[in-house]
Amino acid sequence: MRTIPAELTRRYESEGWWTDESIGTMLAGGLEANPDVTFRVHSTVRPYEGTFREVELVARKLAAGLKARGVGPGDVVVMQLPNWMEAAATFWASSFLGAVVVPMVHFYGPKELRFVLAETKPRVFITAKQFGRMSYDPDVSANVPIVGVVGAGFDDLLDDEPLIGTLEVDPANPAVIAFTSGTTRDPKGVIHSHQTLGFETRQLLANYPADRGAQLTALPVGHFIGMVSALLTPVLEGVSVDLLDQWDPARVLELIDSHGVAIGGGPPYFVTSLVDQPHFNPEHLDYLKYMGLGGSSVPGTVTRQLADLGICVARSYGSTEHPSITGSQFTAPEGKRLYTDGEPRLGVEIRLGEDGEIFSRGPDLCLGYTNDSLTEIAFDTDGWYRTGDVGALDEDGYLTITDRKSDLIIRGGENISAVEVEDVLLSMPAVAEAVVVAGPDDRLGEHATGVMRLRPDHDAPTLEDVRAHFERAGMARQKWPEELFVVDELPRTASGKVQKHAVRQSIPDLRAAGDEVGRSSGKSAGRV
């Protein structure tokens, strides 16, 4: 883990941003204050409805059972579960014990699971017997001392009597190890302490509108932000937990109608897929009053579309390593909310390198990675984190992300922003989503390749259509897409972010399977 400069530690403690409270004591206090709040799981395979008190009882019996088996502060608990009640029980139980929670998205396969288990060396592994593509394989976790499988003996870990209170733990110690979403070859284990995670939770709550309503969470709780927003912030806020274990826009609209749950944001896909539904109607807008968008690039065309529907939209920027770097308040001027990624959050400092790369530090910045060599690369001795993202600051200090350094398209020696090209492509009426990546070019090295998902009942634009659209937009010709493909779905991470590396790798297969549109072709884009 990285060394945090002493002056930053003193500042964060003196400002009250870092406290002596552990995640376990935070949860215990929230549960004691809100015992009768509803906890629901909207699932076709494992539905649940109860109260915080009832789920806490399961968690405390699990904590007692694990404690009897020797689990305590600092021990690692890997949790690979869908959005089920048992996920909350596992997270809460581990936190009461002062254990280190490692959430894993349920659709990670054996390869990723083996890597995470080898990297973290857990004492406990909690998973499900079967859900979707996930199926429990005892051989993968054979070296883990304690294994609990929901649907096949999970209850055997529960003690007859619940754990009373919480175990004492140093708040500067690790509380969570969150693995990145797989946009690199191997996931990176990001370590957060009780202090960094506690501050992140409190600042999230401070930025929530008071009238936002009870939120439906479909983002996997195996994802870091999904776990925090589903299983921690509602407890402290005293609002119901409503979980959906599989994203289905039509089902979400049904739950809005039947349970009055609200959707508060996330990656743009989770919002645009709702408003594109044929059964979406103006009454649903009452439950989409505020929309915080982040987790992937947020095109201005999308924020404008949502704002025109009457939704108060605000963009934010962060990562697993530094969850809340910048963001706009919902009271900020519309232009800032829609077209920038906001200003630095409480306690956060940012600076730009000579090439525009963003460096950040703040009280919610992680402790580093499980891999020390990655920590040495990403953090300097003054506490700055190298984000790998490129941005620009306006005269008011609002940040706009322009690209990732690794996503730059270098065409004939000239850098092209993929995000800039995507934004123009997305402004075409037929285009629901667009990803622009570097395609190989024998003459220029690289060129812009566009991969699109279309809106229902729209025809694919031709390359001539796109060229005319980009010309009307006034974009330089070297930035125009020179290949186009249409796909039914884009590869995504657990948080809904498009996996650009997977899109890039798919280009040869798209060429082979579809009707490629080259720089000199006027044919329609091929559907794959």
Domains along the sequence of the chain with CATH: 21-193 (3.40.50.12780), 408-527 (3.30.300.30)
Q: What pLDDT is stored for residue 493 in this prediction?
A: 83
- Average pLDDT rounded to a whole number, residues 81-101: 98
Containing 91, the helix (H) or strand (E) segment is helix 85-97
In this structure, are residues 398 and 336 in contact, taking their beta carbons and an 8 Å threshold?
Answer: yes
For the segment 41-71, what is each residue's pLDDT rounded down to a tens digit?
Answer: 999 999 999 999 999 999 999 999 999 999 9
pLDDT tens digits, 463-482: 999 999 999 988 888 889 99
Residue 181: what pLDDT? 56
**Which of 257, 265, 261 minimizes the C-alpha distance to 244?**
261
Ranges assigned E (strand) in 249-404: 265-266, 290-293, 312-317, 326-327, 343-344, 349-352, 357-361, 368-369, 385-393, 399-404
pLDDT at res. 526: 38
The whole-number pLDDT of residue 368 equals 97
CA distance 501 to 437: 9
pLDDT at 280 over 60: yes
**Percentage of the chain lying above the pLDDT 70 cut:** 95
Average pLDDT over residues 206-218: 91
Q: Which tops the pLDDT comparison, 417 or 169?
A: 169
C-alpha 318/C-alpha 360 separation (Å) is 10
Res. 182 pLDDT band, cuts 50 70 90: very low
Residue 287 CA to residue 525 CA, distance in Å, equals 37
pLDDT at 183: 41
pLDDT score for 439? 86
How wide is the angle at C-alpha 476 spanned by C-alphas 470 and 479, nearest 5°? 75
Give the number of other CB atoms < 10 A from CB of residue 258.
9
* pLDDT at site 528: 31
User: Rounded to whole angstroms, how far apart are CA atoms 61 and 201?
Assistant: 25
* CA 419 and chain centroid, separation: 19
CB-based contacts of 210, cutoff 8 Å, min separation 6: none
pLDDT band at 496 (very low <50, low <70, confident <90, very high): confident
Three-state DSSP state, 312:
strand
SS3 362: coil
Q: Mean pLDDT over residues 112-136, rounded?
A: 93
Three-class SS of residue 506?
A: helix
Percent of the chain with pLDDT over 90: 73
| The pLDDT of residue 185 | 54
Are 152 and 129 in contact by the 8 Å Cβ rule? The answer is yes
Burial of 372 (0-12, 13-18, 19+ CB in 10 A): exposed
Q: What is the residue-averaged pLDDT of the chain?
A: 91
Question: What's the pLDDT band for 74 if we cut at 50, 70, 90?
Answer: very high
pLDDT on residue 14: 98
Alpha carbons 89 and 452: distance in angstroms, whole number = 40
- Which residue's structure tokens are 């070296």? 143
pLDDT for the residue numbered 519: 40
Give the pLDDT confidence score for residue 520 in this predicted structure. 32
User: Residue 527 pLDDT > 50, yes or no?
Assistant: no
Gap between the Cα atoms of 388 and 377, Å rounded: 11
Residues 214 and 237: their CA atoms lie apart, in Å, by: 10
Note the pLDDT tens digit of each residue in 403-429: 777 777 878 767 788 888 998 999 999
| Tokens matching residue 227 | 């776990």
d(CA 19, CA 262): 31
The structure's pTM equals: 0.85
CA distance 125 to 122: 7
Q: Which residue has the higher pLDDT, 187 or 311?
A: 311
For residue range 290-305, list pLDDT tens digits in order: 999 987 668 888 899 9
- DSSP, collapsed to helix, strand or coil, labels residue 244 as strand
Residue 512 has pLDDT above 80, yes or no: yes
User: Please, which pLDDT band fits residue 76 given cuts at 50, 70 and 90?
Assistant: very high
C-alpha atoms less than 13 angstroms from C-alpha of 149 in its C-beta half-sphere:
13
Write down the pLDDT at residue 474.
Answer: 84
Counting every residue written for the chain, the total comes to 528
* Res 413: pLDDT: 67
